Amino acid sequence: MAGDGCLFCGIVAGAEPGHVVLDEPEVVAFLDIRPVFKGHVLVVPREHVVTLPEMPRALLTAVFVAVQRCAAGVVAAYGAQGSWVAQNNVVSQAVPHVHVHVVPRTKGDGLRGFFWPRQKYKDEAHLRETQAAIQAALSPG
């Protein structure tokens, strides 16, 4: 593992094994060793950043351009019908280094929509209250 103990920093540095599919100046993508489906890729910034909200905007652009390329690539490589793109911050984030999952998908592959129960807002007032809370918490873009 890299000196900071981060597995993904180790893969990026070449100190840990990783099956790299994309190697760019700011971003690396490699196969997930425990894939949801064959072709499941993780896209990571070379720079150690723990969560998406901490990522500098310029790096965010580089990462998501790579995500876009990988989303097209896994579909083309496996004849998939589409892809699933996901990213966790802290909760369910097994490695504390920003990483975006890109998974090839095909209708009937066994993955069923979202993995969590869906909820409803109580009423229109509850929707507006939630909307206002999030708007107030958003930092200027």
pLDDT tens, position by position, 26-47: 999 999 888 888 899 999 999 9
For 43, 60, 75, 82, 120, the CA distances from 79, given in Å and listed in that order, are 20, 28, 5, 9, 36
Average pLDDT (16-25) is 93
Average pLDDT (109-116) is 69
Average pLDDT (18-27) is 94
Instruction: Quote the pLDDT of residue 68.
Output: 95
- Answer whether residue 2 shows pLDDT above 60: no
Whole-prediction pTM value? 0.84
Average pLDDT (52-74) is 93
The encoded tokens of residue 19 equal: 């099956």
Average pLDDT (61-75) is 94
pLDDT tens, position by position, 70-79: 999 999 998 8
Q: Which of 40, 97, 99, 101 is catalytic?
A: 99
Task: Please give the full DSSP string across 74-112, using - where no structure is assigned.
Answer: HHHHHT-SEEEEE--SSTT-SSSS--EEEEEE-TTSS--
99 is catalytic: yes
